[in-house]
Amino acid sequence: MLIYRYTILMMNITMKNYSNNSKLNRDEKVNCENSDYSFSQLTMPQITLRETLRCSAVKFPLLNNLISKSIFVKAKHHKQNSDYSFSQLTMPQITLRETLRCSAVKFSAFITLVFLSVSVSAQQVLTLSDALKMALENNYAIQVAKNDAAISTNNNRLGAAGMLPTVTGTVNQDNQVIDTKQKFLNGTENNRDGAKSNNLNANIELGWTIFDGFKMFAAKNRLEELQKVGELKMRSNIEQTFMRVTKAYYDVLLAKQQLASNQDAFKNSEKRLELATEKYKAGKSAKTEMLKAQVDLNTDKAALMRQENNYKNAQTNLNQLLGRDLNVSFTVEEKLPEPKNYKLDELLNKVNGQNTNLMIAKKNQQVSLLSVREIKAERMPSINIRSGYNYIRQESEAGFLQSSQNNGFHYGAGLSINLFNGFDVNKRLQNARLSLKSNELVYKDSLTRLQNQVQQAFNNYVLSIQLIAFEKENEKVAQENFDIANEQYKVGVITSIELRDAQLNLLNSQIRLLNAQYEAQINESELLRLTGELVKL
């Protein structure tokens, strides 16, 4: 709150001093203690940031924590026609009285820098590596892919292939209440009403197929291949998510850099409007020049607002892919990695052995082959062994037996063979062979398509590298052209339209350079994905 009040106060002072004095006294000099710097001939109402920091001896650690030792700046700066005087203005870690005397404009610029720096430092600096790690942990699509891979792992077991025995236990209890009338050959009778009887039957059965024409082994191999397919699909999903995260990350960086270019263009248009206004007031130019400058400034302001919105949307999109709150504020690293040199032959060789989609197609081909073997095995005989333990107890109030109990083990073996089942095995075998041929064709098609994609991505990457070098030189030319045009416009050599053309050429050259750098990173990431280098499991 104290800084805020000082800022408002100094802004009022600045406006009054600036209206009374068009420029600072050229003969006055500011001497700052503990500094080897001295400044003279300060003519601009707003001095540069470097000079402001030198004069006030304020360093950036003050923005994060007030340094333990106070910094006292002693300066002599006398302003003419000023109605304000200040004494005993204090602030933690710095004496404001001398600083304000030195220059209200300087300190106002410094306070603005303080707020901007604190705002930036409060944001999280997100690196691409951190973003990928966060996506690996939180992205919903990756979590679903992990669950699918876990399911395929659970399905790969001996029991699912039919290699383990089965054990079944059963218990049955039957109770009856009946009326019975019995007449025997000797003439005796046994008549009972409501006679009760019960029957208890319990057993444990073990069955085991010890031979089925090697079908169980083919089934186990097929389950192992399906598990590998599940893991590869998870990897493919992670690669695709990483590509989306990488693209979204560089979208944020591109939007941020383009925003900086739009801000520079807006500042240049502001300076042009100020100059055009001064010329108009001095009677050196027509009002249309000032109005043109105002229109161009408004155009740049609209473009700046749109770019700010694009920057926010890019941040939101990246937050969504990272599986976190959409409103998390962050910034990204602006330093791009150095471009690498790739050889097309090496990339194509890596595709054959490391591309995830190609490996999935190869595994599906192997699964189809194992399915053919499984169906063939059904023509072979199967041998089963079985054993068990039975317990039977009967009780009755009528009949020949009052009670009976049996218990004991049993065991045996059996052989079965499919003699005829309506040609079902033949038809399923034909379909399995057709599926195998289809998977072979899918593999060949995938290989050619991937080779084509790698070659195109490689060509795009090489072009992006060339465009970066070209656009860097072009940006220098455009910057020099704008600087010359700006000076010529000040002295009236060129018109505002020519200055505007130079300004737009500079802006467009900066945007083309940023786009070339962006495309280089995306194309390189696509090359890594196609060659299986993006994700290492």
What percent of the chain stands above pLDDT 70? 76
Of 3-12, 131-140, 522-531, the range with the lowest mean pLDDT is: 3-12
More confidently predicted of 457 and 401: 457
Beta carbons of 60 and 40 less than 8 angstroms apart = no
pLDDT interval class at 181 (50, 70, 90): confident
Q: Would you state the pLDDT for residue 87? A: 35
Q: Would you state the pLDDT for residue 186? A: 79
Indicate if the pLDDT at residue 381 is higher than 70.
yes
Q: Would you state the pLDDT for residue 182? A: 74
Q: Would you state the pLDDT for residue 61? A: 37
Instruction: Give per-residue pLDDT as tens, 252-284.
Output: 999 999 999 999 999 999 999 999 999 899 888
pLDDT interval class at 517 (50, 70, 90): very high
Of 64-78, 99-113, 235-249, the range with the lowest mean pLDDT is: 64-78
Q: Would you state the pLDDT for residue 399? A: 67
Q: Would you state the pLDDT for residue 299? A: 96
Of 83-92, 103-112, 326-335, the range with the lowest mean pLDDT is: 83-92
Indicate if the pLDDT at residue 458 is higher than 60.
yes
Q: Would you state the pLDDT for residue 284? A: 86
Instruction: Give per-residue pLDDT as tens, 273-320.
Output: 999 999 899 888 889 989 999 999 999 999 999 999 999 999 999 999
Beta carbons of 91 and 67 less than 8 angstroms apart = no
Of 269-278, 398-407, 461-470, 480-489, the range with the lowest mean pLDDT is: 398-407
Cα–Cα distance measured from residue 397 to residue 179, given in angstroms and rounded to the nearest whole number? 10
Give CA separation, 330 vs 124, 127, 244, 252, in Å. 4, 10, 18, 10
Sign of CA dihedral 225, 231, 237, 242: negative
Indicate if the pLDDT at residue 81 is higher than 90.
no
Instruction: Give per-residue pLDDT as tens, 152-180.
Output: 999 999 999 999 999 999 999 999 888 77
Quote the mean pLDDT of the chain.
Answer: 80
Q: Would you state the pLDDT for residue 335? A: 84
Tokens coding 268: 């240049």
Name the β-bridge partners of 125. 331
What percent of the chain stands above pLDDT 90? 64
Q: Would you state the pLDDT for residue 195? A: 80
Nearest to 368 by CA among 450, 425, 441: 441
List, as own/partner pairs, every contact residues 423-431 make where C-beta atoms lie below 8 angstroms and the sequence separation is at least 24, other chains included: 425/375, 425/378, 425/379, 428/375, 429/372, 429/375, 429/376
pTM: 0.71
Cα–Cα distance measured from residue 117 to residue 109, given in angstroms and rounded to the nearest whole number? 12
Q: Would you state the pLDDT for residue 35? A: 38
Q: Would you state the pLDDT for residue 300? A: 96
Instruction: List the alpha helices (DSSP H) in 282-379.
Output: 287-321, 344-354, 356-377
The span from the first CA to the last CA of the chain, in angstroms, equals 53
Q: Would you state the pLDDT for residue 310? A: 97
Beta carbons of 481 and 454 less than 8 angstroms apart = no
